[in-house]
Amino acid sequence: MNRYDEAKNLYAALGVDTDAALDALKDVCISVHCWQGDDVIGFDCGESLSGGIQTTGNYPGRARTPQELMADLDKAFSLMPGKKKLNLHASYAIFEDGERAERNKLEPKHFCKWIDFAKARGMGIDFNPTFFAHPMVKDNLTLSSPDETVRRYWVEHGQACIRISEAFAEETGVPCVMNIWIPDGCKDIPGDRLGPRARFKQSLDEILSVPYDKSKVYVTLESKVFGIGLESYTVGSAEFCLSYSAKNGITPLMDNGHYHPTEVVSDKISSLLLFNDKIALHVTRPVRWDSDHVVLFDDETREIAKEIVRNDALDRVFIATDYFDASINRISAWITGMRNVQKALLFALLQPNDKLKALQDAADMTALMVLQEELKTAPFGDVWQEYLRRENVKADYLSEIKDYEKKVLVNRV
Ligand code: RNT
Ligand code: ZN
């Protein structure tokens, strides 16, 4: 008997159907963030990263042009199993022949190369207005700025992005998730917490006043607790973003690096699912702060996946990766994080969820603990290998990455 068949029997004894789990996983689409490939720099204005987020490390081989980023994405995609979507930021606009456009004047045509890229690969595109790394960010503020010229500029940027998102959906035939995240905040104790939030609220209202097809564009709103240099006050806090989303019929997005260190997103998912048709996630790994380390197959990633699966919400949660590590091979980082999200989902799909629930309802917490611990050492690896085999992807991606590094990446100097 091969290892998969043996694992299948062992899981069956625990009440789990491994074939059903593999079938479910193959339909899950994960949105792959383009910004891991070039340290969140983009192509539109050459400003260094700001907004309280930081990429650290200077491993050779950063993608410097759209061509390089597309080639690297292709390399990464070829070694990632499963269904993918491309997640772009507005700062990745591609301008032809020196013709530039300001962020408030961006149009679908500035992304036509990306549309062609996605279509050729049968993928949808998700989108993010870029409210950072730009000279119009004044005093760390964008949509909440008291300077009407600044606020208007960024409102127009948001509106332009809605039109671009709708074009992505129309061109690819796949709905587009457009995520709004602003870095706005204060390093030190503010004298007014209400004013910036009131202006942010008004700006969002203005952005959403652009007519768009809600079956094609899902607008999401991402909260945050603090950023580097913005430690004391964040305009788009959790309460603000959840309340705004609930009241205005848009989708809340939780990034698991955006909460206090002992708060976990896995515990928030069930609550949001009770009150929202859809929710969105940025899967990342915070180490001591929102450090955006590569996602690992760790406890919290598994717990997040379990909450999606056991609440039967695979079709209600938009899952996207969001991390940036410049200290290791960037393509390997992409693949490792993506595969770990999928591993966590498979692990969750291999839980006897009905049994676990019944034990809890019967208040048999002893048996619940024993079974949950037992599951940790079940032959998960053999089922994962079977998934890779069915997806036609090798378990070993490192050798191919090392080869690409030698042939392509080291020449980028
Ligand atoms: C920042 C947010 C945001 C960004 C990307 C680049 O803390 O997580 O999602 O990481 O938009
Ligand atoms: Zn995020």
402 is catalytic: no
33 is catalytic: no
Read off the DSSP letter of residue 105.
G
Fill in the amino acid letter for 242. L
260 is catalytic: no
Cα of 375 vs centre of ligand 2, distance in Å, is 31
Instruction: Look at residues 29, 41, 6 and name the one whose alpha carbon lies nearest to residue 330.
Output: 41
pLDDT digits (tens, 9 = 90+) for 86-123: 999 999 999 988 789 999 999 999 999 999 999 999 99
Read off the DSSP letter of residue 294.
P
Percent of the chain at pLDDT exceeding 90:
98
Cα of 1 vs centre of ligand 2, distance in Å, is 44
Can you count the helices (H) and strands (E) in the chain?
Answer: 14, 10
* CB 60, CB 412: distance < 8 Å: yes
Parse the chain into domains and list their residue ranges.
Answer: 22-349
**What mean pLDDT is reported for the chain?**
97
Quote the crossing angle between the two packed helices 66-78 and 330-349, to the nearest 10°.
40
- Check residue 97 and give its pLDDT: 81
Pairing of strands 233-234, 185-186: antiparallel
Around ligand 1, the residues with Cβ closer than 6 Å are: 35, 40, 53, 128, 181, 222, 224, 255, 282, 290, 322
pLDDT digits (tens, 9 = 90+) for 31-70: 999 999 999 999 998 888 999 999 999 999 999 999 999 9
- Check residue 407 and give its pLDDT: 98
258 is catalytic: yes
In which residue are the tokens 């609550």 written?
A: 271
Q: Which is catalytic among the residues 322, 325, 382, 386?
A: 322
Kindly state the average pLDDT of the residues 293-321.
98
Domain 22-349 has CATH 3.40.720.10: no
pLDDT digits (tens, 9 = 90+) for 7-33: 999 999 999 999 999 999 999 999 999
SS3 146: coil
Phi, psi of 154 (to 5 degrees): -75, -30
- Check residue 413 and give its pLDDT: 86
- Check residue 98 and give its pLDDT: 77
What pairs with residue 85 in β-bridges? 31
Per-residue tokens: 407? 């042939």
pTM: 0.98
| Residue located nearest, by CA, to atom 10 of ligand 1 | 322
Kindly state the average pLDDT of the residues 251-261.
98
